[in-house]
Amino acid sequence: MKIFITGSNGLLGQKLVAQLCNSDHRVLATGQGPCRIISLPKNVGYQSCDITDTFDVEKSIKSFLPDVVIHSAAMTNVDECELNPEKCQVVNVEATMNVIQACQPIGCHLIHLSTDFIFDGKHGPYDEHGIPNPISKYGQSKLDAERLVQMATCPWAIVRTVLVYGISPGLSRTNIILWVKSNLEQGKQIQVVDDQFRTPTLAEDLAQGCILIAEHRATGIFNISGKDFLTPFAMANLTADYFGLDKSLIVRASVATFSQPAKRPPRTGFDISKAVNQLGFTPHSFIEGIRIVESQL
């Protein structure tokens, strides 16, 4: 199978390449600018591709003729999307239309990455039939992109995920595990919200879910996330316990404590039973995720 990946320089993109490197699949990883993947395996090529450029996307996909396109590229900084809605629209919505238009003529299977932020967080955890009602520019852009995908004439799947964490070379953004570990090791007090609920997702698990969908040629909407329903405060305490750090430095806080440009849904998280039953999806627990992150430090 030939698999085309957008956003391969990002966390998910790098994990997809890592999991596909020993497979029989032929992979074309694409991203903006030079390749950040340290070592490309023999079955993986890299090509620069600007997803906001209609012709660049069409040329790249048409020349490779993939069986599957995994569209992971997106603008995911929620506050940046709120402050720069025009760029958010171009990267998350218009670029998705570019990918769809390139996929339709060749009939390849499009797998599109989406988010729990399409929901308002009043009724979580959500299954695949939850009613979207975004409360941020980011959430609205991802919902708009979902609706475009659902109108596509090629086979499609939408992967909704939650609070993805993990580490990869060349990525500057941290995650809650490393943030908590670093601050507590330095003896710094941290404020962590305890009135938001999520099902945090190890990047390796998200990659596994995408590959399972590709290999099953599954279509429709799938929730792919972790299985533990936690607040960031609980995640911080589990991290402190794992590394044997001082939990008294972790101060319980509410969302109102922080001033952020974009609203966050208070209670999301996903019911992943569909992915477990139909795909054989097997996510790690949050504690297991911490262990995997530690092994990569």
Q: Mean pLDDT over all residues of the chain?
A: 97
* Calculated CA dihedral for residues 11, 123, 290, 224, nearest 10 degrees: -50
Q: Is the pLDDT of residue 148 over 90?
A: yes
pLDDT per residue over 199-217, tens digit each? 999 999 999 999 999 999 9
- For position 168, what pLDDT does the model report? 87
Q: What does the pLDDT read at residue 229?
A: 98
CA dist., res. 48 & res. 68, Å (int): 18
Q: How many CB atoms lie within 10 A of CB 34?
A: 9
pLDDT at 172 exceeding the cut of 80: no
Q: Are 73 and 31 in contact (CB under 8 A)?
A: yes
What are 60-119's pLDDT values in tens digits?
999 999 999 999 999 999 999 999 999 999 999 999 999 999 999 999 999 999 999 999
**The two three-digit tokens of residue 224, written as one number:** 């792919």
Judged against a pLDDT cut of 90, whether residue 254 lies above it is answered with yes
pLDDT more than 70, % of the chain: 99
pLDDT higher than threshold 70 for residue 136:
yes
pLDDT score, position 16: 97
Of the candidates 84, 150, 82, 78, the residue with the CA atom closest to the CA atom of residue 112: 150
pLDDT at 169 over 80: no
Residue that has been written with the tokens 């390449």 in this structure: 17
Q: What is the pLDDT of residues 23-49, one digit of tens each?
A: 999 999 999 999 999 888 899 999 999
DSSP string, 171-230: -----HHHHHHHHHHTT--EEEESS-BB--EEHHHHHHHHHHHHHHT--EEEE---S--B
**Domains of the chain, earliest start first:** 2-166+200-226+269-285 (3.40.50.720)
pLDDT at res. 79: 98
Note the pLDDT of residue 92: 98
> Considering Cα of 78, then 80, then 82, then 84, what sign does the dihedral take?
negative
Q: Average pLDDT in the 274-282 region?
A: 98
Model confidence at 173, pLDDT cuts 50, 70, 90, reads low
**In 3D, which of 170, 162, 122 has the Cα closest to residue 142?**
162
**What pTM was estimated for this model as a whole?**
0.97
Confidence of residue 22 (pLDDT cuts 50, 70, 90): confident
